[in-house]
Amino acid sequence: MTKHSTGYVHHKAKNAIWEQGFREYFEYRDLELGNATNGGHYAQVIRAKKAFTGGTGHHAHNVPFHWTYILKGWIEFDFKGVGVTKLEAGDCQYMPEGCHHELMACSDDLEMIEMYSPGEIGDIKIPDWRK
């Protein structure tokens, strides 16, 4: 990332660093928006290291803004009150704070951009609403 004195920031793909993150079947590229905005916002590219099935467990997030855009492949979620939703390349979703969901599966070629605000996110485990 390059941050200029004007506040302008750019992040070059050729210099990207991919890291292991919270989920072992994904790798993450921090777009450094958190540093650029002093923690006000966060953005990352997530890509699958392999296909995933089996579900992550029911949870919600503690941020008021959580947005996802699918660049490549597909990902499937189950949302309380909505049902199963499959997102494919070009699709996006917004999850409000406390939105109960479970990541169910993804393709082995999944790539997506995830943004949230403020710049810290956490999982809140919840009981299975389907039982």
Number of separate helices (H) and strands (E) present in the chain: 1, 14
Fold classification of 16-125 is Jelly Rolls (2.60.120)
Cα–Cα distances in angstroms (integers) from residue 29 to residues 15, 20, 21, 69, 87, in the given order: 10, 9, 9, 14, 20
In this prediction, residue 126 carries a pLDDT of 66
Nearest to residue 104, comparing CAs of 52, 60, 61? 52
What ranges do the domains of the chain cover?
16-125
Q: Is it the case that residue 37 has pLDDT exceeding 90?
A: no
Kindly report the average pLDDT of the chain as a whole number: 87
C-alpha to C-alpha distance for 39 and 18, rounded to whole angstroms: 20
Tokens at residue 114, please?
């995830």
Question: What is the percent of the chain where pLDDT is above 70?
Answer: 92
pTM of the model: 0.86
In this prediction, residue 58 carries a pLDDT of 83
Q: pLDDT confidence of 25, banded at 50, 70, 90?
A: confident
Higher confidence at residue 2 or residue 35? 35
In this prediction, residue 61 carries a pLDDT of 83
Q: What is the pLDDT of residues 101-112, one digit of tens each?
A: 899 999 999 999
In this prediction, residue 27 carries a pLDDT of 96
Mean pLDDT within 40-65: 89
In this prediction, residue 119 carries a pLDDT of 72
Higher confidence at residue 131 or residue 87? 87
